[in-house]
Structure 1
Amino acid sequence: MCIQISAQYVKKLRDKTGAGMMNCKKALRAAKGDMDLAIENLRQQGLASASKKSMRIATEGLIESYIHSGSRIGVLLELNCETDFVARHSEFQSLAKNLAMQIVACTDVEYVCKDDIPNHIIDLEKKIEFSKNDLINKPDSIRFAIVKGRIDKRLKELSLLDQAFIRNPDISIENLIEQKKALLGENIKVRRFQKFILGEGLEKINDFSKEVADILQK
């Protein structure tokens, strides 16, 4: 039976460890709600050691670019860390390359995280969902529950941090960054990115996610 963990309890563990919300939730469930055991589990995974790093200012880093095969889509990404030493580290540079490729592979991604998504975008998505035919004859309580689930799913599709890492789908991009924080000992943040698509807005749309997956298999 799945143990119900409150959002407040998850936040408490996050405040103690600095680990991502989903990591904290999974750790608490695995520990059956035992806070100390959850902290120990996170430390064993190398996630709790990133504690407090998210509060430190990251003003160094690099601008990474990725131009996909055929030069039809490209990405510019700003990835920040705390020192120039870490910015020159191979692990940090590899992370930047992987993130840029991830953005190309995830065609729906437009924002770094869900908190960056403007309210008017969320309101538009809600309007679209509430107007769908399959919800018209359902009771309000059911309609609201279904729409909430669909909106949560849609916001995750738009958020880079919520994506499954294309090189290891068992972890999210947020997990990946937390691991690099623990490894490199510094705060690491994706500040911004911009995607450039050749002929964007025209009728023909290319599936770049499949092409990136093909490249990774080579």
Structure 2
Amino acid sequence: MAAITAKMVAELRELTGLGMMECKKALVEADGDVKKAEEVLRIKSGNKASKMAGRTAAEGVIAAFISDDKKVGAIVEVNCETDFVGKDAGFIEFASAVAKAVAVANPADVEALAAVATDSGASVEDLRKAIIAKLGENMTLRRFVRYETAGQLATYLHGGKIGVLVDLEGGDEALGKDVAMHIAAAKPKSLDASGVDAELIETERRVAIERAKEAGKPEAMIEKIAEGTVQKFLKEVTLLSQPFVKDDKQTIEQLLKTNSAKVNAFALLVVGEGIEKKVVDYAAEVAAAAKL
């Protein structure tokens, strides 16, 4: 049996939002495996989604650029250490210059992006070093997405923390903006079911089966219940199946069809997504450890 530490309990609490004792029991049942313990808690509590998924754990900004003809565009995530610097005009200007550099130069990756020349003539890396020297914080170019299309591109930025880039075929500028805003709000994982990670689907199925068993459902019904749960999950996380946020009487697929349009691809970036910035409260950790 693995030792259950206060740090493990705290991590599981962050992921699930559940009480310390519930998390400790789940970790014991999962023999210290935090991911498995999260699944155990979902089965027992009906907790549908991880708090971690929507949590911003690093500062910075999402910037975007689209060419005048709307054929080439990019969104980028640039990180810094504090929200104060994330709102600085110079930092935001730097991020915008990086987004344009990505669109124009089409670098292979973040490493190649560093050497790309910006409109000022200086490289992205030179600008990064200059803004670091000015503002006194470390800054990183984390990721970018670039599209080039025969259709038209649309973008939407929400508070500098969420950025969307949409490759739209047909429709008009207003439709592109509506779809981009919807993506920012509803955060779909993919265009349709074919793009959803198989591991995510399998997890939903496994959780549904275990919850059905715990609820005492007849064995003959369990697979049907699990399949229904998976299909519901897919409708919730795929763009085309989601109800349009501005008119939930129609799905995005119906909205596009009405406007003789289709989405070829989309990208959604959220500042700090997947990065956890630890703030250690030693007093709380010691107190929690004393209770284990």
So what's the TM-score if we normalise by structure 1? Answer: 0.53
Partner of 2:175: 95
Runs of 4+ deviating beyond 6 Å: none
- 1:2-41 alignment to 2 at 5 Å? none
Secondary structure of 2:172's counterpart equals: helix
1:200 pairs, out of 273, 280, 287, with 273
Moved more, 169-178 or 121-130: 121-130
Using the size of structure 2 for normalisation, the TM-score is 0.41
**Cα offset, 1:178, TM superposition:** 0.8
Q: Secondary structure at the match of 2:231?
A: helix
The aligned residue for residue 177 of structure 1 is 256
- Alignment of 1:135 with 2:213, yes or no, is yes
Q: Secondary structure at the match of 1:60?
A: coil
Q: Matched residues in 2 for 1:190 and 1:118: separation?
A: 19
Could you list the per-position Cα deviations for residues 84-141 of structure 1 after superposition, in whole angstroms to 9, with x for gaps in the alignment? xxxxxxx51111111100001103x111112332433322321222233x42332222
Which amino acid is 2:274 matched to?
G
Moved more, 190-199 or 109-118: 109-118
2:172 partner amino acid: F
Amino acid at match of 1:155: L
Matched residue, 2:225: 146
Match of 2:100 in 1: none
User: Equivalent residue for 2:143?
Assistant: none
Question: In the alignment, is the contact (CA less than 8 A) between 2:157 and 2:163 conserved in 1?
Answer: yes
Q: Give, in whole Å, the separation in 2 of the partners of 1:131 and 1:104.
A: 33
2:186–2:245 CA contact under 8 A, matched in 1: no
Out of 42, 51, 65, the position equivalent to 2:155 is 65
> 1:202 Cα shift?
4.7
In 2: Cα distance, 1:121 partner to 1:111 partner? 12
Corresponding residue SS for 2:241:
coil
Identity of aligned residues (%): 32
Query: What secondary structure sits across from 1:138 in the alignment?
Result: coil
Which consecutive unaligned segments of at least 5 residues does structure 2 have?
Answer: 1-148, 278-292
Partner Cα distance (2:172, 2:228) in 1: 35
Tell me the distance in 2 between the aligned counterparts of 1:153 and 1:78: 26
Using the alignment, how far apart are the partners of 1:124 and 1:114 within structure 2?
15
Number of corresponding residues? 128
Residue aligned with 1:75, SS: strand
Structure 1: which 5+ runs fail to align?
1-58, 82-90, 182-187, 205-218
**2:131 maps to what in 1?**
none
Q: Which residue of 2 aligns with 1:120?
A: 199
Larger radius of gyration: 2
- Residue 79, structure 1, aligned to residue 152, structure 2: no
Higher strand proportion: 2
CA–CA distance in structure 1, aligned partners of residues 264 and 199 of structure 2: 22
**Paired residue for 1:162?**
241
